[in-house]
Structure 1
Amino acid sequence: MAARKTLVNPVLFSKHFRVSTTALAKAKLLDPVLNSDTKLFIDPLLVPKSQNTKMKRQGRKDLESGFQHVVGLLSISENEGDVAWRGAFNALDLSERSETGLGYGGAGTSGSSRPPKLRNGILRTAKEIIALGVKDPSMIPLMPLFEEGVGPDTLSDMTTNFLLPVLCQVTEEFCAANNVPVRAFGKKYDNRRLPENPYQPDKPVILVPRDILRDLPLAADWSDVSRVVMEIQEIRDAVNSMFGNLAKATLSQKKAALRRAVLSSESLLRELIEAVGAAAESYDEKADLDGYFQFRRILSEDPTPYVGALSNPATKHASTLLESVMTIVETFQGLVEDNNMWELLWHGNTHKHERASQLLFFAIANIMCAVNNVDISPETNSGGGPVDFKFSTGFRGRVLVEMKLSKGRVEHGYKTQLEIYKKAATTSEAIFVIMDIGGMGRKLRKIEKLKQDAEARGERTSEIVVIDARRKASASVRNDTML
């Protein structure tokens, strides 16, 4: 995994290459951010289910033959490190594919390789499975279930490496049909003509079908896959026999128990492979609980309504910068509370995840600064950790914004996280935003008391802003009520 970095001024593929977002949507391809990674992952279990004909046919074939090649070499390997083992090691390519703009890489999408220890661990587990008599290549995508350290990014990048030729073909054909400028990238990319990433000129942009993406590949998402796995009674009984109460076991213990149970029986392993493969579903774009597609829509919209909404701070100090950032926060608050933007934070009766609120705020802040030519750079952590925002305008002026849902760890966020971030950023100006979706309880009173106590000690404290993001009745319902 690449080092955690920050994202400034996100640039969409569609914006940079002036491609219609409708064309991308029609082709069912993700509109990548060129200078950052999106925390979505390719799930190999979704490839056979894709509506993209090339992915469903050739992609599936490439994936299965790639996995089969690894399994075939392992099956003839007699000792770890022999010629066949080394062949399987080389065939199992785990290097990061920054060209897709997916995963935990954060800003810069630089990509990196993974340690040999991880590859050898996967091969050992696969060898154990082969010893059971199972040579099904579908075992490879299940490695996160058995092997510690095989995370969603590892599985996604491994899959991307096997799918690279067909992904390059899909990208080349889309670009040709939509007049996107391309150039040759050589043998590594199947001699395809592909668009150049302006932030990594030596690498192309590779477009990915949206229906093979998940927020976490199923096999790497224990909370989801355990539900599927534990529906198989034989597995449930075997795992429970190892733990009196599985619910109290750690994640590592659960994985170890599942591994012991499944790798003791060929029939259980086959049942597991079939059940997990059938259960995989792509990221729900309609619900968009993490706000990834909503973020893209906001960045693609006409920015004219935000013209004149912000002006440059008078001086390059944190105190005057704070006023400008507060204007951004208040504008966002007005959009949510008075202009129905709260609707973007809900899917029916279900509130979206904290990340959706954070990305929505980041998009609005970015547009306000850009369209008004304001010398403020909103930054956000775009990797796997918590998302916070830093606004800067020269070395002396920095303001941090931390955003939490009212149902989240509000007190912890105010007391601990923000103070740590403020020290790290060498600034004493900050704003703590609570998105009130209900369930606030006494949290607001507690952090207001923390603020009062700190001020009584003569300490600088973070501003607290509460934004009402609760579901509201529709206009028609409100009007009917008034009649």
Structure 2
Amino acid sequence: MVKRTLIHPVLFSQHFSIDPTRLKLAGLLDPVLNSDTKLFIDPLLIAKSKNPLIKTEGMAAVTAAFNNVIGLVDMSQSETDAAWKGAYKALDLDERSETCLGYGGASTSGNSRPPTLRRSILRTAKEIITLGEKNPAMIPLMGLFEEGVGPDTLSDMTTNFLLSTLCEITENFCKIEGISTKKFGPKYSNRELPDNPYHLGTPVVLVPRDLLRDLPLAADWSDVSRVVMQIDEIRDAVNRMFGNIAKASVADKKKAVRKVALSSLDNLRAVLAAVADASESYDEKADLDGLYQFRAVLNADRAKFNGMVSAPTVKSDVTLRATVNSMIDQFKQLVENNNMWELLWYGDVPRHERASQLLFFAVCTVMCAINNVDVSPETNSGGGPVDFKFSTGFRGRLLVEMKLSKGAVEHGYKKQLETYKAAAQTKAGIFVIMDVGGMGRKLNVIRKLKAEAEARGETTSDIIVIDASRRLSASKR
């Protein structure tokens, strides 16, 4: 799978010059056209969607697709007969780039996932059918039982079965809003769809927000464990297998749940019901990953960022560092003195580290754009660690790593940034700590590491602390 690097993010609403609130009112995600948003369509949310087309046509299409796969597997007598081959073909796991969702998949070849994965899913389905269960809900929950069935797989599988309905939703919205469209052929039900200028020959397919999660529940072990372990029979059986389940690895726990769930029809049905009932869409109000805050900053009035940073007169590693330091200082001022810290909290709970990183990325992007500064922040849009590589029109590079104070600060400074610098062939780095509490002795530790490295003659990363702590409202101060 190709990982996209995110530079100069462009939202659907920005490219097609529409008010982003129109998408919000329609219950649709405003996608970033030139990268992927780390959200996924969870098949378990289809039945709960408030979108009328999803509730009717979409639900019917997905149920029919799952029933078709189950029916063919049930008929099959061997993995070489026509029924098995039909089930293999019907279980469409091809990647879908049109929705701009996921970890950064860019392939549309249809060969991105190995045939062994489809066969594994079908074999488990056959085992479940033999046990006596033909509920189509087993297919969306294969992430519980199969290694390699991750969030992208579940999301793309569901998108393939929903594609015709999603295309209809997109076409209807574009007609209402007067967005230019064109036909992309029978693959997209001959619907009139908007063209994605950053992915030639590919339309944009809009997705209802209430279908989205940061991870599909069946692929998120922390949620699965919480839900499944509430079932007495499952919890007791798994505990008997491990003695102390806290010491078992995630892979071991997953195998144990698979074994216990498939040991009896009652256990299987209890697991299917519990997980299906527990799935909830991404909480937009809490927005713990900052995905909607990110969009709000990109769409905000840019005039307030005017004059915050100046373009260097010459391009060099020295002026690059000065420019980036200036952007970090402006970000620090916005957080500490202009109430931007509020975007990093949900009530008394600090938003995730990714929220701070996305906020910083959005602010830097807007500052550079409004002030015509030729310094590009970029980041990997995938699911791994997020860092920022700043560059200008020459070979200079400067890496910025951002961590929350309550996280693995020492590890971030000592290991991660050094790894990134080696990969980028640069020794220039800045380490930013967003102080939301829980700092303890971490700052002293990394300052000591920095001093020891400098004593050895090594180049070290600068350390900057931004006070992102929660303040009292003005009326309570």
TM category (shorter chain) comes to over 0.9
State the SS of the aligned residue for 1:64: helix
Match in the other structure for 2:235: 236
Match in the other structure for 1:124: 123
Q: CA deviation at 1:313?
A: 2.0
Task: Determine if the alignment matches structure 1 residue 147 to structure 2 residue 141.
Answer: no
Match in the other structure for 1:36: 35
State the SS of the aligned residue for 1:203: coil
Residue type at the aligned position of 1:165? S
Q: CA deviation at 1:314?
A: 3.1
2 CA distance for matches of 1:78 and 1:263?
20
2 CA distance for matches of 1:135 and 1:446?
57
Q: Is the 8 A contact 1:182 1:195 kept in 2?
A: yes
Write out per-residue CA displacement over residues 313-336 of structure 1, whole angstroms, 9 at most, x where no aligned residue: 233222210000001000000000
Q: CA deviation at 1:394?
A: 2.7
Task: Determine if the alignment matches structure 1 residue 278 to structure 2 residue 277.
Answer: yes
What pairs with 1:308-327 in structure 2 (closer than 5 Å)?
A: 308-327=307-326
Aligned residues: 476
Match in the other structure for 1:481: none
Match in the other structure for 1:69: 68
Task: Determine if the alignment matches structure 1 residue 96 to structure 2 residue 95.
Answer: yes
1 CA distance for matches of 2:14 and 2:249?
45
Q: CA deviation at 1:5?
A: 3.3
2 CA distance for matches of 1:466 and 1:82?
64
Match in the other structure for 1:370: 369
Q: CA deviation at 1:110?
A: 6.1
Match in the other structure for 1:45: 44
Q: CA deviation at 1:3?
A: 2.8
Match in the other structure for 2:183: 184
Q: Is the 8 A contact 2:288 2:355 kept in 1?
A: yes
State the SS of the aligned residue for 1:267: helix
Match in the other structure for 1:56: 55
State the SS of the aligned residue for 1:100: coil
Match in the other structure for 1:451: 450
Match in the other structure for 2:441: 442
Match in the other structure for 1:205: 204
State the SS of the aligned residue for 1:400: strand
Residue type at the aligned position of 1:47? I
Runs of 5+ unmatched residues, structure 1:
479-483
Q: CA deviation at 1:56?
A: 1.1
Match in the other structure for 2:265: 266
Match in the other structure for 1:464: 463
Write out per-residue CA displacement over residues 50-91 of structure 1, whole angstroms, 9 at most, x where no aligned residue: 010110111111111100000000000001122111100000
Q: Is the 8 A contact 2:95 2:107 kept in 1?
A: no
Task: Determine if the alignment matches structure 1 residue 334 to structure 2 residue 333.
Answer: yes
2 CA distance for matches of 1:411 and 1:240?
35
Write out per-residue CA displacement over residues 349-372 of structure 1, whole angstroms, 9 at most, x where no aligned residue: 111000000000000000011111
Match in the other structure for 1:291: 290
Residue type at the aligned position of 2:416? Q
Q: Is the 8 A contact 2:309 2:327 kept in 1?
A: yes
2 CA distance for matches of 1:393 and 1:290?
29
2 CA distance for matches of 1:81 and 1:45?
31
Match in the other structure for 1:425: 424
Residue type at the aligned position of 1:14? S
Q: Is the 8 A contact 2:344 2:351 kept in 1?
A: yes
Write out per-residue CA displacement over residues 76-119 of structure 1, whole angstroms, 9 at most, x where no aligned residue: 0001122111100000010110000000116x676762110111
Residue type at the aligned position of 1:363? A
2 CA distance for matches of 1:37 and 1:318?
30
1 CA distance for matches of 2:98 and 2:362?
23
Residue type at the aligned position of 2:339? N
Residue type at the aligned position of 1:92? L
Q: CA deviation at 1:132?
A: 0.6
2 CA distance for matches of 1:296 and 1:337?
21
Q: Is the 8 A contact 2:287 2:293 kept in 1?
A: yes
Residue type at the aligned position of 1:43? D
2 CA distance for matches of 1:99 and 1:81?
33
2 CA distance for matches of 1:256 and 1:30?
35
Residue type at the aligned position of 1:380? T
Task: Determine if the alignment matches structure 1 residue 134 to structure 2 residue 156.
Answer: no
Q: What TM-score do the two structures reach when normalised by structure 2? A: 0.98
Q: What TM-score do the two structures reach when normalised by structure 1? A: 0.97
Match in the other structure for 2:388: 389
Write out per-residue CA displacement over residues 415-466 of structure 1, whole angstroms, 9 at most, x where no aligned residue: 1111111111111211100000001011101111111111122222111100
| Segment drifting more, 212-221 vs 455-464 | 455-464
Write out per-residue CA displacement over residues 245-282 of structure 1, whole angstroms, 9 at most, x where no aligned residue: 11211111111111111111111111211111111100
| Segment drifting more, 204-213 vs 302-311 | 302-311
Identity %: 64
Residue type at the aligned position of 1:82? D
| Segment drifting more, 187-196 vs 227-236 | 227-236
Residue type at the aligned position of 1:465? I
State the SS of the aligned residue for 1:39: coil
Q: Is the 8 A contact 1:318 1:397 kept in 2?
A: yes
State the SS of the aligned residue for 1:391: strand
1 CA distance for matches of 2:460 and 2:107?
35
1 CA distance for matches of 2:137 and 2:108?
29
2 CA distance for matches of 1:138 and 1:185?
31
Q: CA deviation at 1:395?
A: 3.3
Runs of 5+ unmatched residues, structure 2:
none
Match in the other structure for 2:113: 114
1 CA distance for matches of 2:452 and 2:247?
38
Residue type at the aligned position of 2:362? A
2 CA distance for matches of 1:300 and 1:283?
21
Q: Is the 8 A contact 1:37 1:109 kept in 2?
A: no
Q: Is the 8 A contact 2:11 2:32 kept in 1?
A: yes
State the SS of the aligned residue for 2:379: strand
